[in-house]
Amino acid sequence: MPLERFAVPLMRLLAFLALLGWAAAPAAAQSILRDAETEALLKDMATPLVKASGLDPANVDIVLVNDPSVNAFVAGGQAVYVNSGLINEADTAGEVQGVIAHELGHVTGGHAVLNLGASSATNISLLSLLLGAAAAAAGGGEAAMGVIMAGQQAAMGKYLAYNRSQEASADAAGAQYLSTAGISGRGSVEFFKKLQNLEFRYGYRPKDGDEFYSTHPLTGDRIQTLQDTYEKDPAWTKPDDPKLQQRFMRMKAKLFGYLAEPKDVLRRYPLTDNSIPAHYARAYAYHKDAQFDLATAETDALIKADPEDPYFLELEGQIMLESGRPQEALAPLRKATELTGNQPLIATLFGHALIATEDPSNFKEAERVLRNAVARDRENPFTWYQLGVIYAAKGDMPRARLASAEQQVLSGNMNAALMSAQAAEAGLPTGTPDWIRAQDIEMQARAELEREKKRR
């Protein structure tokens, strides 16, 4: 048969298989957004829910993903990924807590680890593809297409049925976690209503039979089921935490100011709005637009409102540093670092400013600050890069190479990580912790490169 006729269902099938595989590591293709204030808030929002789920809050991460779609997901392990688009759509901290509770239901249910539906669907689809290819090779074009499409249908049915079961289970678990934590389910219900409005906005209307072709129970059904459950809970009428809501509005404005176009930020937060969230959002918007005076006017307003707020000081220091004024960034960043007890992300920014002054007298402090930062958060490649700069300036090239290897392995550059680790190992005293760490990175890089080679 002509190749073109076979290519259409084949490409559809491959796209479907890609969809199944995407859930295994969705964060890899997107960027992670890291911010000290945001991470602290998400942790505080999630902690009572994590405790209610029986998990250890120290082992659960809430990760913000730079993706405008209104979504959250789990991908194995004990991490919940929340898209920036979901934060933008939510109006209350309670709405986001409802989503986190639901995703924790997936974590405790092992849905991202033991996805039997996806496994079955993948196996059926691959088998259908092989049978279809064999039929095509034998000259049975219509038979090939029928085998492939039938296989897709069977796979889809098994996969979606399993996922509907998962979603219902996560809904029930999430409701239990909210109840145990004493958090009202109103936010959860309101967020599902938002999802329903999005369906309407984009022209989607449920039709007879749609429930059999959705990975989630239909939104209207979920709203009714959840509302019936939550209204019976003693926490249903409990007021929202006003301090948590205030922090959420700050974080939401900060995120929007950072990600959105400046004109859109000023439309949502006009100059007539003198609230803290508005100053926050406009400061980022003006800074992105290289309007230094306007950006610093907004940070001045924030610091005047609360001179001891470390996140306002962090923003002031960031604007100074990124505007080519590292010396002026030192005071606010030093104070922000002290006020947060050396929070690693803020400390890294401070260390960067110290290095950016190009004053060797600042390098000793920079090394101390950055070493403390990596001791508490080893997963930030930029911190390792800055630490490598300091070691190189001191002439300590083996440790500079080791810092480079740490940065490269976190960034996924395994070839460079392997070479840097080997160079570090050659120059470090045998048997020391740094020498052992260089060996570990070398083995990790070799293993990953070998896996990549096998995948080709």
- Please report which helix (H) or strand (E) contains residue 232, including its range: none
Whether residue 313 sits in one domain with residue 225: no
Q: Which amino acid is at 362?
A: N
Asked if the structure places residue 58 within a domain, the reply is yes
Q: For 134-194, give the DSSP string.
A: HHHHTT-HHHHHHHHHHHHHHHHHHHHHHHHHHHHHHHHHHHHHHHHHT--THHHHHHHHH
Whether residue 311 sits in one domain with residue 252: yes
Asked if the structure places residue 6 within a domain, the reply is no
Whether residue 150 sits in one domain with residue 38: yes
- Measuring CA to CA, how many Å separate 27 from each of 31, 165, 399? 7, 24, 31
Asked if the structure places residue 14 within a domain, the reply is no
Domain final residue, candidates 230, 253, 288? 230
Query: Phi and psi at residue 261, in whole multiples of 5°?
Result: -65, 140
- Strand 72-74 vs strand 61-65: parallel, antiparallel, or unpaired? unpaired
Burial 344-358, CB ≥16 within 10 A → b, else e? bbbbbbbbbbbbbbe
Of residues 245, 221, 256, the one with CA closest to residue 87: 256
Q: What is the structure's pLDDT at 218?
A: 55
Domain final residue, candidates 167, 197, 230? 230
Contact 424, 398 (CB under 8 A): yes
Asked if the structure places residue 443 within a domain, the reply is yes
Whether residue 445 sits in one domain with residue 382: yes
Contact 376, 342 (CB under 8 A): yes
Of residues 279, 276, 284, the one with CA closest to residue 260: 284
Q: How far apart are the first and last CA of the chain?
A: 29
Q: What is the structure's pLDDT at 207?
A: 56
Domain final residue, candidates 175, 206, 230? 230
Q: What is the structure's pLDDT at 7?
A: 34
Q: List, run by run, the mean pLDDT of 10-residue segments along the chain (456 residues).
A: 34 32 39 94 96 94 90 83 92 95 86 46 35 43 45 43 66 89 90 79 56 51 82 87 96 96 97 97 96 98 98 98 97 98 96 97 97 94 95 96 96 95 96 96 95 85
Contact 343, 349 (CB under 8 A): no
Whether residue 321 sits in one domain with residue 253: yes
- Helical residues (DSSP H) of 289-432, grouped into ranges: 292-305, 310-322, 326-339, 344-356, 363-376, 381-394, 397-410, 414-427
Whether residue 290 sits in one domain with residue 152: no
Contact 45, 52 (CB under 8 A): no
**C-alpha to C-alpha distance for 34 and 28, rounded to whole angstroms:** 15
CATH of the domain at 72: 3.30.2010.10
**C-alpha to C-alpha distance for 62 and 181, rounded to whole angstroms:** 17
Whether residue 267 sits in one domain with residue 206: no
Whether residue 275 sits in one domain with residue 132: no
Asked if the structure places residue 29 within a domain, the reply is no
Q: Would you tell me how many other CB atoms lie within 10 Å of the CB of residue 210?
A: 11
Whether residue 251 sits in one domain with residue 189: no
Q: What is the structure's pLDDT at 192?
A: 84
**Domains: count for the chain:** 2
Whether residue 195 sits in one domain with residue 46: yes
Q: What is the structure's pLDDT at 163?
A: 58
Q: Which amino acid is at 144?
A: A
Among all chains, which residue has been given the structure tokens 């039929």? 135
**C-alpha to C-alpha distance for 181 and 212, rounded to whole angstroms:** 33
Sign of the torsion formed by the C-alpha atoms of 410, 411, 417 and 418: positive
Range of the domain at 311: 240-453
Of residues 311, 242, 241, the one with CA closest to residue 280: 311
Asked if the structure places residue 75 within a domain, the reply is yes
Q: What is the structure's pLDDT at 5?
A: 34
**C-alpha to C-alpha distance for 383 and 361, rounded to whole angstroms:** 20
Whether residue 278 sits in one domain with residue 157: no
Whether residue 206 sits in one domain with residue 345: no
Asked if the structure places residue 282 within a domain, the reply is yes
**Structure-block tokens of residue 34:** 């890291």
Query: What is the chain's alpha carbon radius of gyration, rounded to the nearest angstrom?
Result: 26
Asked if the structure places residue 418 within a domain, the reply is yes
CATH of the domain at 306: 1.25.40.10
